[in-house]
């Protein structure tokens, strides 16, 4: 169990991407709860939710090819959205290919600018992949939490940087901005 916004949430254990053994257990627990009751025009940056059966919103992913995915750079997204979610994607924006240390934070600012009045943005970031971004957290989020993977499971933690694991993140940060 983890706590998010005053609610106790069960960790997610689904076969795709073996969620029980990685940061998806936490990310999806919060995201599924966060999406409950959300209506209006939604956007997902990074094609993750469709792999877990959640569809019906616009999906933008720079590289993943799929019938219902718009292949755009995050900075080329326009429009207004009632809600935006990005799961373990922002840390890759112009980092993996260009090593631009500022792009991830600028991407979050850009997504915030796309929120309609009353809109909400939820972003998950595995800590240890993008050191510059890690040092900027919590990026003035209205609500945020950080969890660390320990032998006893996922536990709340501080924002101290850690090394990314050999395959999965050892820490994950989740933040929400409310417009």
CATH code of the domain containing 83: 3.40.50
- Does the pLDDT of residue 101 top 90, yes or no? yes
Domains identified in the chain, total number: 1
> What distance in Å separates the CA atoms of residue 50 and residue 59, rounded to the nearest whole number?
9
* DSSP-based three-state secondary structure for 19: helix
Q: Which residues of 91-125 are buried (b: 16+ CB within 10 A; e: fewer)?
A: bbbbbeeeeeeebbbebbebbbebbeeebbbbbbb
Q: Is residue 67 domain-resident?
A: yes
Partners of 154 in beta bridges: 149
- Does the pLDDT of residue 81 top 90, yes or no? yes
Q: Is residue 28 domain-resident?
A: no
Query: What is the extent of the structural domain holding 115?
Result: 2-21+33-178
In Å, how far are 9, 25, 109, 110, 173 from 148, measured between CA atoms? 16, 12, 26, 28, 9
pLDDT in the model for residue 15: 84
Could you report the per-residue pLDDT of 110-123, keeping only the tens digit for each?
A: 999 999 999 999 99
pLDDT in the model for residue 106: 97
> What distance in Å separates the CA atoms of residue 75 and residue 82, rounded to the nearest whole number?
18
Q: How confident is the model at residue 152 (pLDDT cuts 50, 70, 90)?
A: confident
Residue percentage of the chain with pLDDT more than 70: 100
Mean pLDDT of the chain: 94
Q: Is residue 85 domain-resident?
A: yes
What value does the mean pLDDT take over residues 142-152?
92
DSSP strand pairing (143-150 vs 153-156): antiparallel
pTM for the model stands at: 0.95
Q: Is residue 40 domain-resident?
A: yes
Q: Is residue 61 domain-resident?
A: yes
Q: Is residue 136 domain-resident?
A: yes
If one counts every other C-beta atom within 10 angstroms of the C-beta of residue 26, the result is: 29
Q: Is residue 27 domain-resident?
A: no
For 136, the token pair is 């900027």
What value does the mean pLDDT take over residues 148-156?
90
Q: Is residue 138 domain-resident?
A: yes
φ, ψ for residue 29, nearest 5 deg: -60, -50
């Amino acid at each position: 169990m983890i706590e998010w916004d005053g609610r106790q949430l069960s960790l997610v254990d689904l076969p795709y991407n073996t969620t029980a053994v990685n940061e998806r257990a936490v990310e999806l627990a919060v995201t599924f709860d966060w999406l409950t009751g959300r209506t209006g025009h939604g956007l997902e940056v990074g094609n993750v939710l469709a792999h877990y059966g959640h569809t019906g919103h616009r999906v933008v992913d720079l590289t993943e090819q799929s019938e219902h995915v718009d292949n755009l750079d995050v900075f080329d997204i326009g429009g207004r959205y009632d809600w935006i979610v990005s799961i373990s994607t922002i840390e890759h924006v112009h980092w993996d290919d260009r090593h631009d240390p500022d792009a991830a934070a600028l991407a979050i600012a850009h997504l915030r600018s796309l929120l309609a009045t009353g809109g909400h943005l939820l972003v998950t970031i595995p800590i240890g992949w993008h050191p510059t971004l890690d040092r900027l957290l919590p990026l003035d989020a209205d609500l945020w939490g950080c969890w660390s993977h320990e032998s006893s499971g996922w536990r709340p933690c501080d924002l101290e940087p850690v090394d990314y694991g050999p395959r999965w993140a050892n820490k994950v940060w989740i933040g929400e901005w409310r417009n």
